[in-house]
């Protein structure tokens, strides 16, 4: 059985299990606030093309551009810091002080400075993703065995060649793992920002439907946001499979 077939069957089985569980909980609670999967999915099908898809595209663009910017800034910086004891001695304490601070607390400041449009949301998600990737890239670079570097140096490789052919390949699998974890965080932050300070996006749509007591529409939006997360996660899986082929050998 091919890898794609296994993944499709896995998603189908998991979806069926979730739908059954959803139905049972809805029956037990018996509240309009928790419609069953059938009416929610019917609303999803009815609203998808005209209403949900435009909102999902707005939200997806915000998450994708934020993750791209955060990764592009954090990966090279983290790898350089991790391979330079002097830089690490200076930057390490700064990372330790700033990383644990919940970046969501800066949302009011960003809303005042950048407004309630996409820029404030992208900036906040970028900031969160940046620190998650930075810490991972730094730790991955520090954890590279010295023997791996010495073996390449013995063949005459300079610093740039060591960085390109040893440090980057060794750190990339860990970076992709951090990216997959960051996807869930980014979407959660996106929902928060769109719901309290926005006029578009799938997070805004969900809260708007909730305020109208349109619970089936609200759950259609929740399904749409869940699918957005799955699409982004699978995109990272495909990218890692193509970029880090050596790490997938034997899987």
DSSP string, 179-192: HHHHHHHHHHHHHH
In sequence order, the 6+-apart residues with CB closer than 8 A to the CB of 177 are 136
Burial class (CB in 10 A: 0-12, 13-18, 19+), 93: exposed
pLDDT > 90? residue 69: yes
19 and 129 share one domain: no
More confident residue, 158 or 57: 57
Question: Per residue in 9-30, pLDDT tens?
Answer: 888 898 899 999 999 999 999 9
Q: What's the mean per-residue pLDDT of the chain?
A: 88
Residue found by looking up tokens 């390109």 in the block: 164
**CA distance linking residue 237 with residue 176, whole number of Å:** 8
Burial class (CB in 10 A: 0-12, 13-18, 19+), 1: exposed
pLDDT > 50? residue 111: yes
Q: How confident is the model at residue 243 (pLDDT cuts 50, 70, 90)?
A: confident
Return the minimum-mean-pLDDT range out of 31-35, 56-60, 142-146.
Answer: 142-146
More confident residue, 211 or 244: 211
In sequence order, the 6+-apart residues with CB closer than 8 A to the CB of 239 are 176
17 and 54 share one domain: no
Q: End-to-end distance of the chain based on CA atoms, in angstroms?
A: 13
At 240, list the tokens. Answer: 């890692």
What residues make up the domain containing 68?
A: 35-248
152 and 236 share one domain: yes
How does DSSP classify residue 213? Answer: T
Q: How confident is the model at residue 244 (pLDDT cuts 50, 70, 90)?
A: confident
19 and 69 share one domain: no
pLDDT > 60? residue 251: no
155 and 196 share one domain: yes
In sequence order, the 6+-apart residues with CB closer than 8 A to the CB of 74 are 129, 130, 131, 132, 133, 134, 137
CB 141 within 8 A of CB 174: no
CATH number of the domain where residue 95 is located: 1.10.3720.10
1 and 40 share one domain: no
Tally of domains within the chain: 2
CB 141 within 8 A of CB 78: yes
118 and 215 share one domain: yes
Query: What is residue 154's predicted lDDT score, i.e. its pLDDT?
Result: 75
pLDDT > 70? residue 179: yes
Nearest Cα neighbor of 59 from 190, 183, 188 is 190
Nearest Cα neighbor of 67 from 243, 239, 245 is 239
Q: CB 68: neighbour CB atoms within 10 A?
A: 12
Question: What is the phi/psi pair of residue 190, to 5°?
Answer: -60, -45
pLDDT > 70? residue 131: yes
39 and 20 share one domain: no
217 and 230 share one domain: yes
**CA distance linking residue 126 with residue 195, whole number of Å:** 18
In sequence order, the 6+-apart residues with CB closer than 8 A to the CB of 186 are 63, 66, 67, 125, 128, 129
pLDDT > 80? residue 156: no
122 and 64 share one domain: yes
82 and 145 share one domain: yes
CB 217 within 8 A of CB 48: no
């Amino acid at each position: 059985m091919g890898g794609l077939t296994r993944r499709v069957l896995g998603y189908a089985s998991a979806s069926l299990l979730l739908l059954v569980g959803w139905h049972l909980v809805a029956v037990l609670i018996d509240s309009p606030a928790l419609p069953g999967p059938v009416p929610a999915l019917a609303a999803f099908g009815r609203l998808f093309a005209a209403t949900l898809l435009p909102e999902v595209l707005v939200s997806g663009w915000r998450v994708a551009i934020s993750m791209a910017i955060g990764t592009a800034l954090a990966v090279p910086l983290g790898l350089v810091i991790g391979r330079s004891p002097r830089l690490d001695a200076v930057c390490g304490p700064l990372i330790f002080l700033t990383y644990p601070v919940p970046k969501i607390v800066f949302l009011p400041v960003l809303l005042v400075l950048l407004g309630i449009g996409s820029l404030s949301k992208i900036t906040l998600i970028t900031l969160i993703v940046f620190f998650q990737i930075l810490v991972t890239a730094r730790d991955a670079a520090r954890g590279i065995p010295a023997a791996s570097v010495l073996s390449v140096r013995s063949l005459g490789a300079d610093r740039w060649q060591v960085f390109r052919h040893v440090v980057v390949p060794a750190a990339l699998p860990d970076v992709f793992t951090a990216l997959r974890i960051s996807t869930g965080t980014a979407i959660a932050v996106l929902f928060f920002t769109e719901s309290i300070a926005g006029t578009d996006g799938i997070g805004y749509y969900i809260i708007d439907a909730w305020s109208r007591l349109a619970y089936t529409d609200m759950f259609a939006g929740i399904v749409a946001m869940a699918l957005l997360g799955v699409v982004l996660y699978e995109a990272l899986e495909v990218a890692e499979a193509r970029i880090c082929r050596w790490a997938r050998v034997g899987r």
